[in-house]
Structure 1
Amino acid sequence: MVKINGLIAATFATFHADGSLNLGGIPPLVEKLIEDGLKGVFICGTNGEGPNLTVEERMAVAEAYVATAKGRLFVFVHVGHTSIAECRKLAAHAEKIGADAISAVAAFYFKPTNVANLVDSMVQIATAAPKTPFYYYHIPALTGVGMDMVEFLRIGEEKIANLAGIKYTAATIHEYQACLNFKGGKFDVLFGYDELLLPALAVGAKGAVGSTYNFAAPLYLRVMELFEAGHLHEAQQLQLLLVSMIREMVKFSPIPAQKAIMEMIGMDLGPSRLPLMSLSQHDKELLQTRLEAIGFFDTLKQIKPVNDRV
Structure 2
Amino acid sequence: MGSQDLKDFKITGVVAAPFTPFDSDGELALEKIDPYIEHLLANGVKNVYICGTTGEGPSLTIDERKKVAEKWVKAADGRFKAIIVQVGSGNLKEVEELARHSEAIGADAISTIPTIFFKPANPKVIAEFLQKVSNAAPTIPLYYYHNPNMTGVNFSLESILNLCTNIKTLRGSKFTSENLYDLSRCILLSSDKYNLLYAVDEQILPSLTLGVKGGVGSTYNYLGKVVNRLLKAFDDGNIELARKEQNFMNEVIAVLKKYGGNVAVNKTIANITGLDLGPPRHPLVEPSDEDKEKIKKELEAIDYFNKI
Whether 2:68 is the aligned partner of 1:61: answer yes
Deviation at 1:215, TM superposition (A): 0.2
Please say which of residues 140-149 and 250-259 is displaced more in the overlay: 250-259
Deviation at 1:180, TM superposition (A): 2.0
Kindly indicate whether the alpha-carbon contact (under 8 Å) linking 1:102 and 1:134 is maintained by their aligned counterparts in 2: yes
Deviation at 1:259, TM superposition (A): 1.7
Kindly indicate whether the alpha-carbon contact (under 8 Å) linking 2:109 and 2:140 is maintained by their aligned counterparts in 1: yes
Secondary structure of 1:8's counterpart equals: strand
| Matching residue of 1:25 | 32
Please say which of residues 183-192 and 136-145 is displaced more in the overlay: 183-192
| Whole-angstrom distance in 1 between the partners of 2:86 and 2:76 | 16
Deviation at 1:151, TM superposition (A): 2.2
Whether 2:148 is the aligned partner of 1:135: answer no
Whether 2:98 is the aligned partner of 1:90: answer yes
Whether 2:298 is the aligned partner of 1:290: answer yes
Kindly indicate whether the alpha-carbon contact (under 8 Å) linking 2:88 and 2:115 is maintained by their aligned counterparts in 1: yes
Deviations 1:72-109 (A, max 9, x none): 11100000001110111100000000010000001111
Whether 2:152 is the aligned partner of 1:144: answer yes
Aligned-pair identity in percent equals 39
| Whole-angstrom distance in 2 between the partners of 1:137 and 1:199 | 20
13, 18, 41: which one pairs with 1:11? 18
| Whole-angstrom distance in 2 between the partners of 1:108 and 1:184 | 27
| Whole-angstrom distance in 1 between the partners of 2:243 and 2:303 | 16
| Whole-angstrom distance in 1 between the partners of 2:215 and 2:294 | 29
Task: Provide structure 1 residue ranges, at least 5 long, that are not aligned to the other structure.
Answer: 301-310
Secondary structure of 2:223's counterpart equals: helix
Whether 2:253 is the aligned partner of 1:236: answer no
| Whole-angstrom distance in 2 between the partners of 1:230 and 1:183 | 25
Secondary structure of 2:222's counterpart equals: helix
Whether 2:225 is the aligned partner of 1:218: answer yes
| Matching residue of 1:260 | 268
| Matching residue of 2:195 | 188
Deviation at 1:150, TM superposition (A): 1.6
| Whole-angstrom distance in 2 between the partners of 1:271 and 1:196 | 27
Secondary structure of 1:156's counterpart equals: coil
Whether 2:98 is the aligned partner of 1:79: answer no
Distance of aligned partners of 1:171 and 1:184 in 2 relative to their CA distance in 1, 3 Å threshold = closer
Deviations 1:37-67 (A, max 9, x none): 1121100000000000000000000000011
Secondary structure of 1:166's counterpart equals: strand
Secondary structure of 2:153's counterpart equals: coil
Whether 2:54 is the aligned partner of 1:47: answer yes
Kindly indicate whether the alpha-carbon contact (under 8 Å) linking 1:16 and 1:22 is maintained by their aligned counterparts in 2: yes
| Whole-angstrom distance in 1 between the partners of 2:290 and 2:132 | 46
Kindly indicate whether the alpha-carbon contact (under 8 Å) linking 2:9 and 2:141 is maintained by their aligned counterparts in 1: no
Deviation at 1:283, TM superposition (A): 1.1
Question: Normalized against structure 1, the TM-score is what?
Answer: 0.94
Deviation at 1:184, TM superposition (A): 5.0
Deviation at 1:233, TM superposition (A): 1.5
| Matching residue of 2:112 | 104
Question: Normalized against structure 2, the TM-score is what?
Answer: 0.94
Kindly indicate whether the alpha-carbon contact (under 8 Å) linking 1:249 and 1:257 is maintained by their aligned counterparts in 2: yes
| Matching residue of 1:307 | none
Deviations 1:100-152 (A, max 9, x none): 00000011111111000111112222211110000000000100012121221
| Whole-angstrom distance in 2 between the partners of 1:252 and 1:132 | 39
Deviations 1:271-292 (A, max 9, x none): 1111100122111111111111
Kindly indicate whether the alpha-carbon contact (under 8 Å) linking 1:78 and 1:103 is maintained by their aligned counterparts in 2: yes
| Matching residue of 1:126 | 134
Secondary structure of 2:197's counterpart equals: strand
Q: Number of paired residues?
A: 299
Deviations 1:139-178 (A, max 9, x none): 00100012121221121122x2210100000011121122
| Whole-angstrom distance in 2 between the partners of 1:31 and 1:129 | 29
163, 167, 171: which one pairs with 2:170? 163
| Whole-angstrom distance in 2 between the partners of 1:124 and 1:234 | 44
Distance of aligned partners of 1:85 and 1:297 in 2 relative to their CA distance in 1, 3 Å threshold = same
Residue type of the alignment partner of 1:106: P
| Whole-angstrom distance in 2 between the partners of 1:172 and 1:55 | 32
Task: Provide structure 2 residue ranges, at least 5 long, that are not aligned to the other structure.
Answer: 1-7
Kindly indicate whether the alpha-carbon contact (under 8 Å) linking 1:259 and 1:268 is maintained by their aligned counterparts in 2: no
